[in-house]
Amino acid sequence: MTTEQNAEPVYSDRVFTVPNVLSVLRLIGVPVFLWLLLVEQADGWAFALLVASGITDFLDGKLARLLDQSSKLGAILDPLVDRLYLLATLGGFLIRGILPWWVVLILVGRDAVLTLTLGVYRRRGLPPPEVIYLGKAATFALMSALPWLLAGQMDWAAAGFGRAFGGAFLIWGTAVYVWTGILYLGKAVAVARAIPPVPHHDHSR
């Protein structure tokens, strides 16, 4: 077995790549989605935009590998847009009464706690923890649930299916999302106990 097989992915400094363009388009779609959902209440168009965002999210990761266009910007931008979409959708659904407040509180609270744990790694000069694959699956389940919950609000034949299907994915995704949050928190606690912080040197003297 060669060392290349176990090598970390190489990220370039390129900015103008196909995956990055898709991520920027998804980023632009966030305020458009909120406008459609809350101002126009055009649920059909908001549903279509959510689905399109999910498809482009899937494509940009695939294209980054197929076209060898993985970049440092993409590694930051893609998960950032994912989180913005999730937060925007949760907030919009809360305002519209599509989701109960306690579900939104659990999901947002999980991310808020994990954001605080990043300081543990920074103070020790360590990179953030590796992404848990199960966490990706939970995010996918949540992002799949939300369009169907919205579809359940529309006046069409599949509204009942949309509410049931979206509700099932929401329960599963929320449970796994919380579980992976506990795993990330456990990693941070283990690092805090095992590795001392890097001493801060005052260079102003």
pLDDT score of 117 more than 50:
yes
Q: What are phi and psi of 15, to 5 degrees?
A: -110, -50
Q: Is residue 108 part of a domain?
A: yes
Per-residue pLDDT at 139: 81
78 lies in which domain range?
Answer: 12-96
Contact predicate 192/203, CB 8 Å: no
Prediction pTM value: 0.76
pLDDT score of 68 more than 90:
no
pLDDT score of 148 more than 50:
yes
pLDDT digits (tens, 9 = 90+) for 170-205: 999 999 999 999 999 999 999 999 989 888 655 555
Are 82 and 19 found together in one domain?
yes
Are 92 and 104 found together in one domain?
no
pLDDT score of 60 more than 50:
yes
Q: Is residue 202 part of a domain?
A: no
Q: Is residue 204 part of a domain?
A: no
What percentage of the chain reaches a pLDDT higher than 90? Answer: 45
Are 165 and 136 found together in one domain?
yes
Last residue of a domain, one of 54, 71, 96: 96
pLDDT digits (tens, 9 = 90+) for 82-108: 888 888 999 999 999 999 999 999 999
Residue with tokens 């959510």: 50
Q: Is residue 104 part of a domain?
A: yes
Number of domains composing the chain: 2
Identify which has the larger pLDDT, 73 or 158: 158
Per-residue pLDDT at 202: 52
Per-residue pLDDT at 4: 43
Per-residue pLDDT at 170: 94
Q: Three-state secondary structure along 53-103?
A: HHHHHHHHHHHHHHCCCCEHHHHHHHHHHHHHHHHHHHHHHHHHCCCCHHH
Residue 100 CA to residue 97 CA, distance in Å, equals 7
Q: Is residue 201 part of a domain?
A: no
Are 26 and 62 found together in one domain?
yes
pLDDT band at 80 (very low <50, low <70, confident <90, very high): confident
Are 125 and 145 found together in one domain?
yes
Q: Is residue 203 part of a domain?
A: no
